[in-house]
Every structure is written in structure tokens, then in C-alpha cells.
A and B are shown apart, each in its own frame.
Chain A
Amino acid sequence: MKIVIVNYGMGNIYSIQNALKFLGFASEYSDDPAKISNADKIILPGVGSYRKAMQNIISKDLKNPIKEAVEKKGNPILGICLGMQLLGISSTEDGYTKGLGLFDGIVERFDEKCNLKIPHIGYNEVMPASNSVLFQSIKENPDFYFVHSYRMMSPIENGITTCNYGENFIAAFEQNNVFGTQFHPEKSQTNGLILLKNFLSV
């Protein structure tokens, strides 16, 4: 199985690879469009600014290879944190930026009216979607590590895992071969390791 972690210059390059290695899977960190479109599994990581991330993806010519692999070949993709947000339609971070459009969700800043500390940092419980593939064999309301100031909302109801931080937002989604987690599975101890393993078993 060829697992490619998309390298577009955003985020912690080692932790995901270390986690996969711990689970016994080799992976490659690459910005090669051909490798990405031929990958059996794609992981889109990311920490940082949405606008800059999309600029990097476009300037490295990675947008079409990702979309081709996911939409035409049906290969599974997992977006993590900013990577999940990029799978959506758009974000209002640093002005309006269009995402990859693989999932019907839009990203906006947490509602300041909730009067909670932003960024939302730390472990929080999530409510897994019913019949979730990602959360298979993970107990009810598991905790995962979050660190973000923007969150995704979606009109879609199926396959949505939610978390509450002043308001309900999307903690994870799964729709056919498109998966995303707002939290960091590679930073969520055993819970996250099992989730990654579930994704690799899709």
C-alpha cells in the first residue's frame, strides 16, 4: 500500500509519519504530483494559515492531482486539522479563500460570543457519527487533541462527528472516500493511533 503524506510546507512533518511507523506502515512525504495521484491513501496534514496553505497547494500544482486521486480514482484521503478544512468549500481566515471542494463544509472563526478562550486547545470529547468507520472499536465519546481557532460547519448530516466548544462544530467527517478530522489523531495518544489504523484499513 502506497501511503503519501502531502508535503506542501505546512505543519509538523514527523509526527504523522512516526505514528504510521508505530502502527507498522511505511509512508512517504511528498510534493510530487504523480506520486500523489497514484497513492493508495493520501493524508493531507497541516497547521497554519488557510490562505497560505491553498497558495502553496496551487503553486506546487497539487490541487488537480489530489482531486483526481479522490474524485476519479476513488482513493481515500484523510485531511487532518487545517488539512481537513482545506477539503471543504472555503474559509474566511485572512479573507475569503476557496478550498479543494471535496466536502460540503465552510470554515469560519469560532463565535466570539461564546466567550471561550480561542484557540480551542486541548483534549475534548467527540460524539462519533453512527456507524462511523474512523471511530470503529473506539469507545463512546472518546477524547482527541484539538488546536484551532476556525471550525467547520456543514449542511450534511450523515457521517458527521461533532464536538462542542461553546457551539457544536465538526470534529470529523466521512463521506465515501473523503475523511477529515479537525483534531490531531497523531497527537491523541492511543485513541488517535486506532483512528489512523481504521483509516488505513478502509
Chain B
Amino acid sequence: MLSRNFRLQKVGNLDWIENNYNFENIAFSIDELIILNVNRNGRNLIEFSKTIAKLISNVFVPVAVGGGVTSMEYAKTLFMSGADKIIINSILTENPYLVKELVREYGSQSVIASIDYNIDKKEILAYRNNGINPINYNFTDYITYIQKLGVGEVYLNSIQKDGTGQGYSMDIIGPYLNLFKVPVILAGGAGNSKHLIEASHNPGVDAVATANLFNFIGQALPNSRRDMQEEGIHMANFLPLKKVKQPV
């Protein structure tokens, strides 16, 4: 597990999460869980899928998993580990036929396209291979292109803001949001509930994501959720967990 605060930083394995966080508390404060394998030095699929299965055994929200999906077999292993959706990036341009096959096999609702974007010489560009290589498309064309492949959702991540906690880069991505005909998850930069609220008010944003560790400490997540609701953002209302444990 990696924290993306102030650059990628290794914080510990799964036991570390269990010891340092009340993961059940986190899992019952979110609408959806995203697990990304951001390992740059070769990804161990077996290890990763075991981690997923263990991490989500008591998670009862949709789970999206991504990082290194390059074949049907790879995707299948992730689905078999409990993923409801897979997140893809590099294959969108490197292997569009595979994307179409994934959509055909698992349905568009199970395939999320991740767009890592950044500004290069005043121009907005999408990147692949963990944000390393720019994709040679005009950004608007790229948005049209990936939607034609049949993906059901888009995960929009600002490379520049990711892990900073300074807020989403709405000034850059804002003008493009109306080009999406599929739901948009905004990611990269959220550091507090204000950021989450601001982005949620944008009609082009369907969901907001945070990977910022500060948001997971103590009651930060349940509190953010409450703040958002107080600001009039429609959030799902869930019954308290203890009610589940009571006999009917």
C-alpha cells in the first residue's frame, strides 16, 4: 500500500493498514473503493489479487481495481478476486481491441478508463504507463476516442495535483467535463472536505475520489461525508453498522 502524499511514498503492507487504520470504519464511510497497483517495478498479479481479496472481504461497496491490466486473463484474475470493475489506462491506446473485448465480456459498466492528465507546454495531454509517456492525441479527440471504445466510466486524475492535497485542478479539467457522456470520477489533489464539496457541485462531476492519507486518519472520512451532506450534496444515507448486527 502506498501513500501518494507528496510523491509516491511507501507506507507499509496490508498488515500495516490493518494496524494503523480502522479499515472497517473507512469501508463504511465511502460509496466505492478504488485499489490501484502503482508498483513500477513489475507487478505481481498473484500477490496483488490475494491482497485485494483479503482487503475487501468485509467491504460492501463496489470495488474498482486497476494497474497493469494488459490481458483478458489479467482482468479475469482481478474480477475473480472480488473486483466489480477494472480500471484501465495504457491499453486504451496500446491495445484498443483488448478494451473492446473487455467491454464485450464484462459489460461497459465494469470497465473504467483512467485518464492521467497534465499540462505540457501549455497544452493538456493524457499520459499512459503510470503517467510517464504522453499520448499523442488532442485531448478533446482522446475523450471522444475512449468513449467510442465503450468504457462505462472515466477516472480523471491530475498528475500534477495527485498527492498534493491542494485541491483538484478544476481550472484545467473543468472545460472538458461536458464532453463526457459516461459518469466521471474526479481524482488527484483532494486534501479536505472543501475540495470534495467544491468539485461535487460541478454538474460534470459524478463522483469525487481521494487517496490522500490525511483523509483516512481518525474520523476524517465520516466527517467529510457529513460536511458534504450539510452543503446539500446528495450522499447516500446508510444505517449504522450496529443495526446490522441486531437480530431482525
Contact = CB atoms under 8 A, between A and B. Distances in A.
Given A18-B57, A139-B239, A148 B82 contact: no
B132 interface: no
A190 B244 contact: yes
Interface of B: 28, 31, 53, 56-58, 60-62, 79-84, 106-110, 152-153, 181-183, 206-207, 235-241, 243-244, 248
A91 B166 CA distance: 48
Contacts of A49: 107
A191 B239 contact: yes
Interface stretch (A9-17, A26-34, A57-65): A9-17
Contact of A122 (B53, B207, B241, B248): B207
A136 interface: yes
A23 B61 CA distance: 15
Nearest to B242: A190
B96 to A, nearest CB: 21
Interface residues of A, number: 39
A89 interface: no
Contacts, number: 105
Interface of A: 12-15, 18-19, 22-23, 47-49, 117, 119, 121-123, 136-139, 142-143, 145, 147-149, 184, 186-194, 197-198, 201
B243 A14 contact: no
B54 to A, nearest CB: 11
A49 B58 CA distance: 28
29 contacts: A12-B79, A12-B84, A14-B53, A14-B81, A15-B82, A15-B84, A18-B58, A19-B60, A22-B58, A22-B244, A117-B182, A121-B109, A121-B152, A121-B153, A138-B239, A139-B239, A142-B239, A145-B62, A147-B62, A149-B109, A184-B62, A188-B61, A188-B236, A189-B236, A190-B243, A192-B60, A194-B244, A194-B248, A198-B248
A122 B85 CA distance: 13
Contact of B60 (A123, A149, A189): A189
B244 A23 contact: yes
Contacts of A186: 60
B109 A119 contact: yes
Nearest to B106: A48
Contact of B31 (A13, A14, A122): A122
A201 B247 CA distance: 10
A117 B206 contact: yes
